[in-house]
Structure 1
Amino acid sequence: MTTPIPPVSLDPENWEDFRASAHAMLEAALDRLEGAGQGRVWTPLPEDQKTAFQAPLPRTGHGNDAVQDQITALLPHGVGNTHPRFFGWVHGAGTPSNMIAEIAAAAMNANLGGRDHGAIYVERQVVDWCREMFGFPETASGLVVSGTSIATVIALKAARDRALGFATRTAGLNGARLVGYTSDQTHSCVARAFDILGLGSDALRKIPTDAEFRIDLAALRAAIARDQAAGLTPFALIGTAGAVNVGSIDDLDTMADIARDTGMWFHVDGAFGATAMLSTTRRPLLRGLERADSLAFDFHKWMQVNYDAGFVLIRSEEDHRSAFSERPDYLVATSRGLSAANPWPTEYGPELSRGFRALKIWAQIAEHGTEKLGRVVDQNCAQAAYLGDKARASTATELMAPVALNICCFRALRAGLTEAQLDSLNTEIVLRLQESGIAAPSTTKLYGKTAIRVNITNHRTRMEDIDILFEAVARLADEVARDLAV
């Protein structure tokens, strides 16, 4: 006779106590966001808390109260992107109301791989809205993903499979010599996608850029001609809408012409810049994007959706689904019941298990509307231009690149310093800004010189935050220059 096993549940033993604990956590989270503009931008995690996250594997649980205390103590120690002076990388700031969508999504605990349930229809609404936002046809397909990196892999796999025939999925590359093209300012995720797809990152030709950091179209045409003469097969052209270093936008319309004339798939890396389509003033810069075969972008950047939330949009639903669809017996489609609502999202990407990211995306757009989100884009671009004007007007700073969108790259200058010392000066300024908690810009290299890179992708940033940053750079430049002179 089988010995009965006592039932085990992971639900709270006392729901009232749990409710009180959950409400306390919500209040702590709201307090954190309400005060997002106060205090330090970045506060490193204290050593004792680092040690607390190096504990042995718990064999018996610590209980809800202890866990909630540890989570609450973690709240002040994020990367800092909720603060209005987080300028280092292209991180959106998130919104308080997005937390509510996350709570609801967690309560539903939906798997968005497929099946007929409410969450599927929310994601389909997001796909429809993305088609409309970017001028893609109604027959285009899309998928919510973690970010532009995986979106790029999905798009370029569809491009690869179309170029070689979809039998590639089972037969492999069979020695095919495919090559693709992008600018030397494009995000590294494109080269990584070539690696992941078995093409090799050397198959991606990185074309030089012009004085405005846009792809050199003459150099692009010459590279394509050389590869064709060598018996290689150009299959993908990747345009950049918002280069990671300076925010520049390629001539997408002309690139679309080149892709059409050479039979290449035209992909646009629009990680943050693509959502400038929501801005009435910046939209003309993206002319040609609507002609792309695929687009990868992030909602968690300029659209301020809480991490993580990316998207891939593909013009040909047939090519998209042909590159990924796989329905084994246990996932057979039906016209009724839970296995209805076909085709399923898993047929458009590599994941079967997928979280309900679409709800927070839908909630952000539904609550604020694209016009308001577009005004955030305008606001950030104006702030970057303002900083660029300050850097250009001062004899103590040098503007290192044109301000195309929301990124301003400049450096501090001090008389008597060599180029190597100026690099050290600007690197140290950024480190001291971060460590002091005043602001969090980053550095990059332009023309071989170290620049202070200020990205503004934050609805909380105000002009006075730009003034605080610029004044701090001037003060720290004097301090660091004295140290270098010793």
Structure 2
Amino acid sequence: MPTATRWSRCRRRGRRKLIAATLPDIVSTPVNKAEGLNDPSLLEPADWEEFRAEAHRALDVALNFVRDRPQEAAWEETPPGLKVTDKELPVHGQPLGEVVNAVQRDVLPYTLGNTHPRFWGWVNGSGTPSGVISQAFVGAINANMGGRDHSPMYIERQLLAWMRQLFSYPEDASGLICTGTSYATLLALAVARQHALGESVREQGNGGAALVAYCSEQAHVSVSKAMEILGLGSRALRSVPVRPDFTLDHAALDAMIRSDVALGMKPFAVISCVGAVNTGAIDELEIIGQICRENGLWHHVDGAFGALIVLSPELRHRLAGIEHADSIAFDFHKWMHVTYAAACVLIRDGELHRRSFATSHAYLQGESRGVAAGAPWPCDYGIDLSRGFAALGIWMLLNEMGTKRLGEAIYRNCRQAAWLGQQVDSMKQLQRLAPVSLNIVCFRFAPAGLSRQQLNRINRHIVVTLHCDGIAVPSFTELAGETAIRVCIANHRTRLDDLQALLDAVIEIGARLMTAGLEGEEFDVSTH
């Protein structure tokens, strides 16, 4: 008899025999106490002292890697033999020492390179030596930060209280430690949607509401992804033009909002950039916030790396108005160098935040005492029921370094970017393509007589050559159709000598390409 039929009869007649026939019951199988049930765990070390020695050696390998990384190439391609992914799944294990040896041999030499002082690609944090220690504690504790009453919860709550203090948010504001600003922005826009449509959105969905949001054309792609995931669609995200300094044109924003209202659309949110991904531009938060308040819109600040200039007394004035934003998203694993992945979202209206995600399932009900105490839990403020203890690494770093040292490191990066921009301006072979707003310098090798297409090709090839030769890791981007060498200095290990080496290499590689033969529009740098 098919299982579905047996279940149907079971429901009609309540026959326990049919349940047993459908679902196996391991209790019915005889169990002998001698079958290893009282033996030590299969997953514990057989010899703790031997394991301790191997663990100490592994820690030395990790710390030596961090210490010695600046002496190695900035990047080295993974050999073809290590790129295979068809190895058999291990059935029988091997000693920990052999596994550590494999990591040391096959993994450590070929990492991304973001712990190297000449890594300036994208926005990747550089980590800290003490981050290795915090990760060891995270592994030892193995906390599930979804909820319940245990000491890690109070570490996260303290951390969120510190973040409210940093950004001058009210005490009843809420927040969540999460994996990255992409996820934080999704959570914030979900709350913004509930703010616009009411609590019925959780049961009925968007209901055909013509919601639209606005962001700079320089905004991160995660904003449009969030709109897609929320069922609003990327076409509901209006791309606002930028001014010559790559900040959002607030006059254009105001006009676009009025136009959409006239067309019967329902504007609900504006996303500002603090540290736009291409150039580091910071939108005018006070003016944009005022536009949002006048139109009843949610103001979200994407401060993935730039929001942390709040730690620098010399820079934090550039965040004027952020304290009035409805939500802020930022990463710890970028400019604070916390081990990946660690970010934060702050929501000014804490109760709205909770109502946007809280559930009432029986197995998630809290108690006033015992392990199930401590509500509301983090799972009431986001999607994840199982969460790692990322807060510990952030908490430890703040206690170790203090905001003063962290702010000084951020400010030094900005001064290094200013120096690099000045050096570019002084060299006739180079051309700066954007203002140095914060810590990003966009420039190109630009000898006279080359077309735009040729310049774009040669600069892309320069970047790839810098990577493959292990000299440095910048990235490239496009600004108004021009390929730029993009140097994002979010690296506490960088020194001026590293930046000078970059400039020297760009000029040398560019000259070498020119000598190799540049023949009109047919030149293709990929062949050189």
TM-score bracket for the superposition, by shorter chain length: over 0.9
In the TM superposition, 1:228-307 aligns within 5 A as 228-307=261-340
CA contact (8 A) 1:324 1:348 kept: yes
Q: For residues 379-403 of structure 1, give each alpha carbon's deviation from its aligned partner in whole angstroms, at most 9, with x where no partner exists.
A: 0001111111111111111000000
Q: 1:6-25, aligned counterparts within 5 Å?
A: 6-7=36-37, 9-25=42-58
Structure with larger Rg: 2
C-alpha separation in 2, matches of 1:285 and 1:391: 25
Among 205, 221, 237, the alignment partner of 1:188 is 221
Partner residue in 2 for 1:470: 503
1:421 to 454, 457, 471: 454
- Asked if the contact 1:421/1:484 (under 8 Å) is kept, the reply is no
Asked whether the 8 Å contact 2:119–2:472 carries over to 1, the reply is yes
CA distance in 1, matches of 2:178, 2:43: 29
Partner of 1:178: 211
Check the 8 A contact 2:63/2:132 in 1, yes or no.
no
Q: Is the 2:460–2:483 contact (alpha carbons within 8 Å) kept by the matching residues of 1?
A: yes
Q: Give identity over the alignment, percent.
A: 47
Q: Secondary structure at the match of 1:186?
A: coil
2:394 corresponds in structure 1 to 361
Moved over 4 A (4+): none
Question: Gapped runs of 5+ residues in structure 1?
Answer: none
Q: Which moved more, 1:148-157 or 1:74-83?
A: 74-83
CA positional deviation for 1:60: 2.4
Q: SS of 1:26's equivalent?
A: helix
Instruction: Using the TM superposition, give the Cα deviation of residue 3 of structure 1 relative to its aligned residue in structure 2, in angstroms.
Output: 4.3
Q: Which amino acid aligns with 2:489?
A: I
Alignment partner of 1:280: what SS? coil
Preserved CA contact (<8 Å) 1:398 1:413: yes
TM-score, normalised to structure 2, is 0.90
Which structure would you say has the larger RCO, counting Cα contacts within 8 Å and 6 or more residues apart?
A: 1
Q: Encode CA deviations 1:157-180: one digit per residue, 9 max, x unaligned.
A: 000011100111011111111000
1:142 aligned counterpart, secondary structure: strand
Alignment check: 8 A CA contact 1:335 1:341 kept:
yes
Which residue, 334, 339, 353 being the options, matches 1:320?
353
AA at the equivalent of 1:26: L
- Say if 2:74 is the partner of 1:60: no
Aligned-partner Cα distance in 2 for 1:484–1:258: 54
The answer to whether the Cα contact below 8 Å between 1:299 and 1:310 also exists between their aligned partners in 2 is: yes
**RMSD between aligned alpha carbons?**
1.1
1:2 match: 30
From 103, 109, 113, give the equivalent of 1:71: 103
Mapped partners of 2:180, 2:384: distance in 1: 14
What amino acid does structure 1 have at the position aligned with 2:96?
N
Whether contact under 8 Å (1:246, 1:403) holds in the other structure is yes
8 Å Cα contact 1:298/1:310 also seen in 2: yes
Q: Deviations over 1:192-224 (max 9, x none)?
A: 000010010100001010000000111111110
Contact 1:25/1:72 (8 A) holds in 2: no
How is 1:216-231 mapped onto 2 (pairs within 5 angstroms)? 216-231=249-264
Deviations 1:106-145 (A, max 9, x none): 1010000000001000000110010011111111101000
Mean alpha-carbon deviation: is it higher for 41-50 or for 90-99?
41-50
SS of residue in 1 equivalent to 2:215: strand
Distance 1:484 1:256, change over 3 A: farther
